[in-house]
Amino acid sequence: MRILGIETTCDETAAAVVGVGFDGRGEILSSEVLSQIAEHAAYGGVVPEIAARAHVEVLDRLIARALKNANCAIKDIDGIAVAAGPGLIGGVLVGLTTAKAIALVTRKPLMAVNHLEAHALTARLTDGIGFPYLLLLASGGHTQLVAVKGVGDYVRIGTTIDDAIGEAFDKAAKMLGLPYPGGPHVEREAARGNPERFALPRPMQGRAEPNFSLSGLKTAVRIEAEKIAPLTQTDISDLCASFQAAIVDVVVDRTRVGLRRFREIAGAPKALVVAGGVAANQTMRQALQRLAVETGLKLVAPPLALCGDNAAMIAWAGLERMRLGLIDDINAPARARWPL
């Protein structure tokens, strides 16, 4: 079985072909990702209209390249999977309309996949883990702790009441004059900074509900930066290190509480899975690894190329759904908001 996947919900245009090997495990046959970061960098964030236009310009070529690199023609594909949301509606429409056109012309099944579900199922593609598991999804747009009990069977345990984790990294970076997207820059600066120089708050730490609130932490960074402005290179590194240490502490604490809640509702988890762009952060990974060891779990974090947005995860989610007969109608809607 081979599935073509398409992803256009945010600022990455992506197409991929994923199949299943003889052992039933997923196999990425090709995965093309074109980031629009350069187009949005000047604005310090993603501009929806620019994103949608950029998807239109490159998507056809990207699909052709994904097929070519997977050594197959469209006739060899068994189904078309597309992220139908949540995301920026203009971009979602570009991908969804393209996928529908291909599905109609080739008479192949269409799977309108939830982008968050695709992040949630990626660990099964990369590590073949079984259900149930606890997912920490940490990206620029989403922060969720989810009990993944089966394909299509998700219970949200916690979420953020304001900024997403990646968004907090991006906003802190912007305040410190670092380029967008800020996460990787903050991590680089933090590596040479002193995480103990600034006593930043750990919002929500210790609370019984495994939710997040990060906007106060971001404000605390701004206040500290204003106190010592103009900032030297060392100040920036120390602020980044202190910020990263605070956010990692919060994430570990919230995830620990999430694991407790998970056991109440879904029994023993098979793994702790971290996904989304922030999962690229090595300090975060190491801290979650320690939490996993402490709680007797295996930490599964997808390889860096699959942490951020990509189409292999969409194809895989489509494949998982198609195997269960979960095929969508050609009228499947594009959804800006679509909770798991």
Residues belonging to the binding site are 115, 119, 137-141, 170, 183, 187, 281, 309
Residue 118 vs 266, nearer CB to ligand KG4: 118
CB of 245 to ligand KG4, least distance (A): 13
CB of 276 to Zn ion, least distance (A): 6
Rounded to 5°, angle at Cα 193 from 192 and 196: 145
Spatial separation of the C-alpha atoms in residues 266 and 269, rounded to whole Å: 7
Q: Which tokens belong to 268?
A: 């023993």
**Out of 31, 36, 126, 139, the residue judged to bind Zn ion by CB under 5 A:** 139
Q: Which residues pair with 35 in a beta bridge?
A: 12
Spatial separation of the C-alpha atoms in residues 274 and 201, rounded to whole Å: 24
Q: Which tokens belong to 44?
A: 């310090």
Q: Quick check: 309 binds Zn ion (CB under 5 A)? A: yes
Binding at 182: pick from ligand KG4, Zn ion, none (beta carbon under 5-8 Å per type): ligand KG4
What distance separates the 2 farthest-apart alpha carbons in the chain?
63
Binding site for ligand KG4 (CB under 6 A): 10, 139-141, 166-167, 169-170, 181-184, 187, 276-278, 280-281, 308-309
Residue 7 vs 238, nearer CB to ligand KG4: 7
Residue 85 vs 193, nearer CB to Zn ion: 85
Residue 220 vs 248, nearer CB to ligand KG4: 248
Binding at 44: pick from Zn ion, ligand KG4, none (beta carbon under 5-8 Å per type): none
CB of 132 to ligand KG4, least distance (A): 23
CB of 262 to ligand KG4, least distance (A): 22
Spatial separation of the C-alpha atoms in residues 268 and 151, rounded to whole Å: 18
Residue 19 vs 87, nearer CB to ligand KG4: 87
Residues belonging to the chain: 340
Spatial separation of the C-alpha atoms in residues 5 and 32, rounded to whole Å: 10
Nearest C-alpha neighbor of 260 from the set 249, 271, 268, 251:
268
Q: Dihedral sign for Cα 183, 185, 191, 196, please.
A: negative
Binding at 95: pick from ligand KG4, Zn ion, none (beta carbon under 5-8 Å per type): none
Q: HSE (CB half, 13 Å, CA atoms) of 126?
A: 20
Binding at 170: pick from Zn ion, ligand KG4, none (beta carbon under 5-8 Å per type): ligand KG4
Residue 171 vs 261, nearer CB to ligand KG4: 171
Nearest C-alpha neighbor of 129 from the set 244, 288, 297:
297
Spatial separation of the C-alpha atoms in residues 282 and 57, rounded to whole Å: 34
CB of 184 to ligand KG4, least distance (A): 4
Residues that bind Zn ion (CB under 5 A): 139, 309
